[in-house]
């Protein structure tokens, strides 16, 4: 069965610093990969997705993620954190042929002024 690991349940950065949120998956066949963001008291919304086109994917709000097959990783980055980026971030993976994703446990991003 597919598994998704998000390293670090909490990541703390200063405003203006680089954001790096890690995601590793277990599939031997490159799957479809997604990052979602959840702001307080809201549902999840899509940040970006990888569907086997370019390995560097750009999303909303200045976020991007790079698919690295050799490392089975799909880490999320943003060059400069903003206070409004404070939220919970989820990585999700769908195997080809399945429309039911597997979610990681989430990483809470804390941004300090």
- Write out the binding residues for other proteins, residues 36-65 only, by CB under 8 A: 36, 41-46, 49, 51
Other CB atoms within 10 A of residue 15 CB: 14
Chain centre to alpha carbon of residue 92:
8
By CB under 8 A, residue 105 contacts other proteins: yes
Site string for other proteins, 3-22 (x = CB under 8 A): ------x-------------
Q: CB–CB of 27/95 below 8 Å?
A: yes
Kindly state the smallest distance separating residue 85's Cβ from other proteins, in Å: 19
By CB under 8 A, residue 101 contacts other proteins: yes
By CB under 8 A, residue 30 contacts other proteins: no
Q: Which of 83/99 has CB closer to other proteins?
A: 99
What are the backbone dihedrals phi and psi of residue 7, each rounded to the nearest 5 degrees, phi first?
-80, 125
Question: 57-88 burial string, b = 16+ CB within 10 Å, else e?
Answer: bebeeebbbebeeeebbbbbebeebeeebbbb
Site string for other proteins, 61-100 (x = CB under 8 A): -----------------------------x---xxxxxxx
């Amino acid at each position: 069965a597919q598994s998704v690991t998000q390293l670090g349940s909490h990541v703390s950065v200063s405003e203006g610093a680089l954001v790096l949120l890690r995601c590793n998956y277990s599939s031997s066949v490159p799957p479809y990969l997604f990052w979602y963001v959840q702001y307080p008291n809201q549902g999840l919304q899509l940040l970006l997705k990888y569907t086997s086109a370019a390995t560097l994917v750009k999303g909303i709000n200045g976020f991007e993620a790079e698919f690295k097959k050799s490392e089975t990783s799909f880490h999320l980055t943003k060059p400069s954190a903003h206070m409004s980026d404070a939220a919970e971030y989820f990585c999700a993976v769908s195997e080809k042929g399945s429309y039911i994703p597997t979610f990681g446990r989430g990483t809470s991003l804390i941004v300090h002024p």
